[in-house]
Chains A and B, each alone.
Chain A
Amino acid sequence: MSDQSLNTAAESRLTPILVAANDRWLPAIILLVATVVAWEAAVRIFDISAFIVPAPTAIARSLIDQWPSLMQATLVTAGEILFGFIVSVAVGIAIALVIVRFDWLGRALYPLVVLFQNVPKVALAPIFILWFGYGLAPKIGLILVIAFFPVTLSMLAGMQSVDRSLLSLMNSVGASQSQILFRIRVPHSLPQLMAGTKIAATLSVIGAIVGEFAGAQDGLGYVIQFASTQLDTAQVFAALLLVSVLGIVFYYAAEILERVVVPWAPKFSRA
């Protein structure tokens, strides 16, 4: 009896979610399947050479045949992304805190940070290889210079948008600058910081691949480059597919992190 009612309760809670998921994803899935089918058909009908555009089935075959080595490369790249992402977020937060906390240092640092944004950072990859060799370090360095900026910028914006009357309240009870920083400004900045973090997650994937392009002995970027010199376009596509999957995984991981860190953010509470 109670089992029954529990079940129906669970079902009635689940049904709308499933329906919503259908509504949301179904069109995209239909379009994707149609595109893949059309792609396969076009390659077969027009007899396109496999090293120019491989058929989806050829990509799938390459994926299956090369699975162990592709997985190994995926793990390497994922490790770089994760490590680089964490370093970028940490450094991005540290720079933002320094700029806000130490006024004169901030005034010195901020224009330089902005100026540095105009350097085409992808072009730094060969220099990093020169300095740090072919290992993990140049990739982390490249991810860092690409990904820290949105973190710093979003956190700064968040910390500086605290309402003035709230600051008046804090001042009226004699709060110190660090109390205002850590009890008000930093938590207040978290929703914006998380938005910057999601951008950093996406940029970290780009940074890792570019770093591997510039010089690496492993990783998906390396696989893409090596396979293209072998005219194994199917493997290039297979590796690209895995890069995209990594991108999606990291983006959603950042989104889950956001829900954990700032469940009180306006975007969640105004459902």
Chain B
Amino acid sequence: MRQSAMRIDTIRAAETRPTTVRHDDALISAKGVSLVLSRQLILQNIDLSVPKGSFVSLIGPSGCGKSTLLKLMAGLLQPTEGSVSIAGLPPVEAARKRMIGLVFQEANLLPWKNAVDNASMLLSIADRSLSRAELRARGQEMLELVGLGDSAHKQPHELSGGMRQRVAIARALALDPAVLLMDEPFGALDAITRDSMGQSLLDIWQRTGKTIVLVTHSIDEAIHLSRHVHVLGIKPGRITESLDIDLPYPRDLSLTEEPEFVRLVVQLRTMLRESHQPGASS
């Protein structure tokens, strides 16, 4: 009974999706993904395509399921219906092939290791053939990429929140993943640090050509950084709007003062406000 009712909802939602999704050039694609946890419909009929090399942001009200969607992409959760694939592979397999780098709101560094060993920590598990020296070298290289080349021997407690988060990004990049999945990575930082972290991330993206999916609560950050923004609605979590940000790269913070940027902010804010209304099926 429940199950069939849910299917009907799913189909109805599919009909009202605002944009058609093209999966041709997608590195990550979610097709008809629904997720039920503890008998609750958390995500409903998510159709999402993240083109290779693009920068995509997910934005939406608290509790709408952004983190959950990211976990599905990382293979940490399995969808109840539909499928997620990364370069044609199930996410779990993609993760085993070191294609996925994860960054969370908390840096979660190991306090007993210094910055460079933290940066290579995940790599040491993913690739057990690497020697200590190779791991160090890779960790150092990644720290330099995130602008922490001279803090390699500092312990986590000697680093500021922003620096710790940079190490967390270095740790993800050390895997040389095709995809970087980031869940509110700058959420715990002050506004100014946040701006410069965003700018650094943009630089890293342009230098490495990674595909980035960023979950954020900041409208400015979403528009400043990404090429596509998807707005998620609540109850159940679903994509309500998608917005292309056609501003040229490279972008910097002066962009935020331009009329086109301001117009996009207003547009996204309106979409976000509407996404706070629960869906018809709840």
B102 within 8 A of A: yes
Q: Mark B225-258, 1 if CB is under 8 A from A, else 0.
A: 0000000000000000000000000000000000
Given contacts A179-B125, A264-B157, contact A174 B95 (CB under 8 A): yes
Docked Cα-Cα span, A169 to B106, in Å, equals 12
A184 within 8 A of B: yes
Is the Cβ of A172 less than 8 Å from the Cβ of B110?
Answer: no
Residues of B within 8 A of A118 (CB): none
Is the Cβ of B110 less than 8 Å from the Cβ of A184?
Answer: yes
Residues of A within 8 A of B175 (CB): 173
**Minimum CB distance partner of A174 in chain B:** B96
Shortest beta-carbon distance from B248 to chain A in Å: 34
Q: Mark B83-106, 1 if CB is under 8 A from A, else 0.
A: 000000000000110101010111
Residues of B within 8 A of A184 (CB): 110
Residues of B within 8 A of A187 (CB): 110, 112
Choice from A163, A166, A172 contacting B76 with Cβ under 8 Å: A172
Is the Cβ of A174 less than 8 Å from the Cβ of B125?
Answer: yes
- Size class of the contact patch on chain B: 20 to 34
Docked Cα-Cα span, A269 to B100, in Å, equals 33
Docked Cα-Cα span, A195 to B108, in Å, equals 23
Given contacts A179-B125, A183-B125, A266-B157, contact A173 B98 (CB under 8 A): yes
Docked Cα-Cα span, A270 to B74, in Å, equals 35
**Minimum CB distance partner of A191 in chain B:** B111
Docked Cα-Cα span, A190 to B125, in Å, equals 21
A181 within 8 A of B: no
Shortest beta-carbon distance from A166 to chain B in Å: 4
Given contacts A166-B108, A179-B125, A264-B111, contact A171 B157 (CB under 8 A): no
Given contacts A173-B125, A266-B157, contact A165 B111 (CB under 8 A): no
B71 within 8 A of A: yes
A170 within 8 A of B: yes
Q: Mark A254-267, 1 if CB is under 8 A from B, else 0.
A: 00000000101110
A–B complex contacts, Cβ < 8 Å, 15 sampled: A168-B71, A168-B104, A169-B108, A170-B125, A173-B98, A174-B95, A174-B126, A175-B125, A179-B125, A184-B110, A187-B112, A262-B112, A264-B155, A265-B111, A266-B111
Interface residues of B (CB under 8 A from A): 71, 74-76, 95-96, 98, 100, 102, 104-106, 108, 110-112, 122, 125-126, 155, 157, 175
